[in-house]
Structure 1
């Protein structure tokens, strides 16, 4: 996993004052809202006897352990031990690790790292969220795969005719025209051109049959965020998929996703839009879960890559760059030899 980055761990609408447990980044967290509405996050384990704090409750803004009633303030410091005599001192070690949090795009983000958040990887921009003329839907999906494989798969322009053939078809015309990759310190992106998808489902209501092409602006942000901006080349209609792939552990990824559309923006169309995204997830998951090695071999590997994989190559280079800075954390996977680009 990549340190010094923000990860989306749940939706803002899900988190209320009651403590919520979240498994992510190989750890167990407890999240809750303070009386002022701000999100708090701590390790979900009491330092006293190891109880799960998310089973507790709030007392005057403090998180109360369900086992012995110890109370912890928002800084993670124990401020009350009911069993103590009045003159007893609370041990300094009665402290829980806390994590920085923020809310953006209707999601709760948690910062995981050892550098200050200002020096880490920023949350990607999503200017269309909340803008006039755009409708947002939300979802959560889980993959039995590593987040790097999920992120790569979501910015792969050449798999669609084979994995999503019911929607795209065109297996006999699967060539990917050359494209240019743009790289920033935190992202890679490219605009790809393809034949238009089939006019299936909700698309029958908005698209003409004779559209020559469709373009997709594919962006991968570190550590594992995808933005897929599809321009249907008809009346300015676009659909934007924004997915944040947070590792639960090294074998499981949970995605918090947002679907944004600037057409058919009434609520009645949400179900159609959501079903399209979920179906795409299910088709991708069946393949991505089977890929080996489990983590993309960004520090070397035996995969043979070609020109249509240029975006994946750029993503791997970014991962390798920050791994060399010591930001990568893994205790299971070795580094094979360099991949071959042909």
Structure 2
């Protein structure tokens, strides 16, 4: 899992004034809208006793912990401790991580890392979202597999005739012609020629004759997005597939789908059904893959020319891992914080204020906490 990227953590229409729990990189966050409509993303872990803030309530634009009523500002700083007598100050370390947020292309994006704004990788462009010629649908599904396996599955054109032969691929013509990749630091895209299956259902009405091939633009955008653009004889279908790592072996796939044919709302149900059926075909295959985690070294799995997009991803991944962008054991909350360290992905505030770099972390070791050395500030602030 990679940190220091913008992650689409929820559909924008699902975030309201009610606190909402989301999970990414194996850790929990709480989202809510302020009174002006902008979105807040905080670590879902009260610094006091580790209660879930998502189970709390809003007081103006603050979120109140359900356990002891501590109120946190949108920037993560604690503004009120109800148990404190009048006049008693609030410790500087009484805060939770707050993450930069953007609302873009129908999604809520949170920057999960501590890089300053000028060093952050970009959010990909989604031009279809603002194009009135396209209709939009939203689909999600949990897959019991590592997110890099689900991610590479969508990038992989060669599996379509076998896994999706009745809907997307053509088992009679499974060959993948060689293709060229356009690549930069954050993405890789290619046009791939595929032989399509016969049209079925509602789409059959628009087919005059079956084309010999269709051009599919397939590509990835770091850290976890795959674009699939199918040019059909009667229009364009474009899917952006967001593979959200709930944990190392569980992925929430969120898809935003666009089409410029059958654009009436009456056709949305059919569009969602088609997308979901594709996911259901992929699901058992991806869940059966071994090893569960993507190998680090390229030679650990055999690669062909048709795997060029996946190989490009793995090479870029190796570089980012070497640069320290990988979420390791020290970053991850084990078993949801019930055992081991309940740590969180560092937010920009930790880098901006070195004094707080290792503040507000819980370090319980199961049922037998290790004693820690007292600091000069004491432990009862």
Q: The TM-score by the shorter chain falls in which range?
A: over 0.9
| Number of residue pairs the alignment of both structures matches | 330
Alpha-carbon contact 2:224-2:243 (below 8 Å) kept? yes
Supply the RMSD in Å over aligned alpha carbons. Answer: 1.5
Q: Which residue of 2 aligns with 1:65?
A: 65
Write out per-residue CA displacement over residues 269-300 of structure 1, whole angstroms, 9 at most, x where no aligned residue. Answer: 11111111001001111101111122222433
Superposed counterparts of 1:203-282, under 5 Å = 203-232=203-232, 234-235=233-234, 237-282=235-280
Counterpart of 1:26 in structure 2 is 26
- Tell me how far 1:168 sits from its aligned partner: 4.2
2:189 equivalent in structure 1 = 189
Q: Deviations over 1:47-106 (max 9, x none)?
A: 222221111111122111112211111111111122221121112221111111111111
- State the match for 1:131 in structure 2: 131
CA contact (8 A) 1:4 1:117 kept: no
Distance in 2 between the 1:13 and 1:65 partners?
24
In the alignment, the residues of structure 1 paired with residue 252 and residue 148 of structure 2 have an alpha-carbon distance, to the nearest angstrom, of 12
Give the equivalent residue in structure 2 for 1:172: 172
Between 204-213 and 92-101, the greater mean CA deviation after superposition: 204-213
Instruction: Judge conservation of contact 1:201–1:272 (CA < 8 Å) in 2.
Output: no
Deviations 1:160-198 (Å, cap 9, x if unpaired)? 111012124632321111111121111111111111232
Q: Distance in 1 between matches of 2:52 and 2:300?
A: 43
2:41 maps to 41
What is the TM-score normalised by the length of structure 1? 0.93
Q: 1:299 aligns with which of 290, 297, 308?
A: 297
Deviates more, 1:20-29 or 1:112-121: 112-121
User: By how many angstroms is 1:318 displaced?
Assistant: 1.4
- Higher mean C-alpha deviation, range 203-212 or range 180-189: 203-212
Please say if residues 199 and 209 of structure 1, whose CA atoms lie closer than 8 Å, have aligned partners that are also in contact.
no
The yes-or-no answer on 1:94 pairing with 2:84 is: no
| Secondary structure class of the residue paired with 2:251 | strand
Distance 2:191 2:220 in 1: 12
Q: Deviations over 1:284-342 (max 9, x none)?
A: 1110111112222243342111111111111111111211211122349xxxxxxxxxx
- Structure 1 distance, partners of 2:322, 2:297, is 9
Unmatched segments (≥5 aa) in structure 1: 333-342
Say which SS state the counterpart of residue 310 (structure 2) adopts: helix
CA contact (8 A) 1:245 1:256 kept: yes
Q: Is the 8 A contact 1:298 1:317 kept in 2?
A: no
